[in-house]
Structure 1
Amino acid sequence: MEFQFTIIVPVYNEKESLPRLFEYLKKYLKSASLKSCVLLVDDGSSDGSASFIEKFCLENKDFSCLLFDKNYGKGAALKAAFDDTKTRLLGYLDADLQTHPEDFELLLPYIEDYGLVTGWRKNRKDTLIKRFSSKTGNAVRIFFTKDNIHDTGCPLKIMHTAYAKKIPMFRGLQRFLPAMILLQQKEIKEVVINHYPRMEGYSKYNFKNRFLGPLIDCFAYVWIKKSYIDYSIKAKHG
């Protein structure tokens, strides 16, 4: 049976989290409602994550990886994975396991009716500063994108691969996935999911890159929205 669903996991300096991540992913693949595979993208890690990922993927047939030569950012990691994906559906999961792969099952029942289904971490298990900076950044994005999503940055999403491949690459891409699907005239849906405290490693985000970075990226989104071209082919002959 061919794979139906690809789980994309961007990784940057998460070596401490990887053993538990691999355990959770292997467990989910056994119970997933769709025949699923995993695509890990190492974004130029400097802590040995890349070699750990490569070894694991060579030993596990349902896992594959892309290894960047240097750190390009999560947006680039996602775009590379979108371009590489062969299945009709794809999902996105962070390596820190603050969201769990099993919750893809909460999103999958809705995907046939929507272009994107995203999680909503309604009860977040983060520090006060992290929650405040995320809430502020989210409010800024809503002001610019009008996507009206409670939790735009939630790292648990499902998309139709065909729509994901049409998303242009730009810095901060991960913050605008719902908005980029809306530009394609597809509907999006938000579903409440579980959220867990980080158990290993440390967050790569702070107030600066949760607020100031997204604010700058919003101007890039406004330009893309104004210039975006979308089309569908009715028929092809010859």
Structure 2
Amino acid sequence: MNYEFTIIVPVYNEQECLPELFQKLKDYLQSSSKKSKVLLVDDGSTDGSPAMIKEFCDANEDFHYLLFERNFGKGAALKAAFDHIDTPWLGYLDADLQTYPEDFEILFSLSSKNDLVTGWRKQRKDTLIKRISSKIGNGVRIMFTRDHMHDTGCPLKIIKTSYAKKIPMFKGLQRFLPAMVLLQNGRIAEIEIPHYPRLAGKSKYNFKNRFMGPLIDCFAYVWMRKSYINYNVKEKNE
């Protein structure tokens, strides 16, 4: 099939969320403005998630999976997905359903003039601690990256695959996707989207990995920005 869009869903111990996630994704594929498929990446889950993913994907042709041998982290899950995608556009969605797949359509409203569009969870449905730590983390990141995004950690994004495949691998990758597209002289935009409470399962984030981890990753980004190689071939012979 001539798919135009692949939705990446990293999964780590989310068996309680998966039945509703599967249904939400199936419903969206029926109404999506682009012919779409789904790539679920299990990041070494120790619950029933891998078995549920395999069973569902084997029964639904628009769904595919990658299963990691152990937990490598969300950045690795996204990079592995980027390496396996063959559609012009890709998107990213968390398995906890605090953002919904149908809201990709909001992002696509800005896709004609941009290479990456990210959501902005302006009205967040999280705990006070999570909101405060994320706000501080975003402020620190903006100082380093100058991407001027309010909510780069929003787990709802669309990216042109040609840009995604040029993003180098490092831990915390998901926090720097807009900045990495800017390094390629790409165009980025942000648009407000709805945010929903987590209905099941447990958050994998705390103050350490919401603030201290991103702070350390910022220094890695600064080094990468100075060393990043970006080029475009003008002409070649076959």
TM bucket (normalised to shorter chain) is over 0.9
2:98 matched residue in structure 1: 98
Cα distance in 1 between the residues matched to 2:213 and 2:109: 34
Quote the offset at 1:26 in angstroms: 0.2
Structural mapping, 1:155-166, within 5 Å: 155-166=155-166
Q: Distance in 2 between matches of 1:80 and 1:103?
A: 24
Instruction: Report the TM-score, using the length of structure 1 for normalisation.
Output: 0.99
- Give distance in 1, aligned partners of 2:29 and 2:104: 11
Deviation at 1:39, TM superposition (A): 0.2
CA distance in structure 2 between the partners assigned to 1:232 and 1:33 by the alignment: 30
What TM-score, normalized to structure 2? 0.99
Counterpart position of 1:16 = 16
Residue type at the aligned position of 1:236: K
Q: Specify the SS of the correspondent of 2:109.
A: helix
Cα distance in 1 for partners of 2:203, 2:148 equals 26
Report the equivalent of 2:116. Answer: 116
Q: Aligned residue pairs: how many?
A: 238
| Cross-structure match for 1:7 | 7
> Which whole-Å CA distance do the structure 1 matches of 2:112 and 2:49 have between them?
35
Aligned-pair distance for 1:145? Answer: 0.4
Name the amino acid aligned to 1:17: C
Question: Which residue of structure 2 lines up, in the alignment, with residue 196 of structure 1?
Answer: 196
Q: 1:75 corresponds to which residue?
A: 75
Q: For residue 107 of structure 2, what is the amino acid of its counterpart?
A: L
Q: Deviation of residue 233 (structure 1)?
A: 1.2
Q: Letter of the 1:216 partner, please give it.
A: I
Quote the offset at 1:236 in angstroms: 1.8
Superposition deviation, residue 64 in structure 1? 0.1
1:162-198 per-position Cα deviation (integer Å, ceiling 9, x unaligned) = 0000000000000000000000011100010000000
Counterpart amino acid of residue 179 in structure 2: A
Q: Which runs of 5+ in 2 are unaligned?
A: none
Counterpart-to-counterpart distance in 2, 1:83 and 1:234:
24
Question: Counterparts in 2 of 1:1-150, with a 5 A limit?
Answer: 1-150=1-150
RMSD, matched Cα: 0.6
Q: Which amino acid aligns with 1:164?
A: A
Q: Which amino acid aligns with 1:165?
A: K
Q: 2:107 and 2:6 mapped to 1: Cα distance?
A: 14
CA distance, structure 2, for counterparts of residue 41 and residue 117 of structure 1 = 22
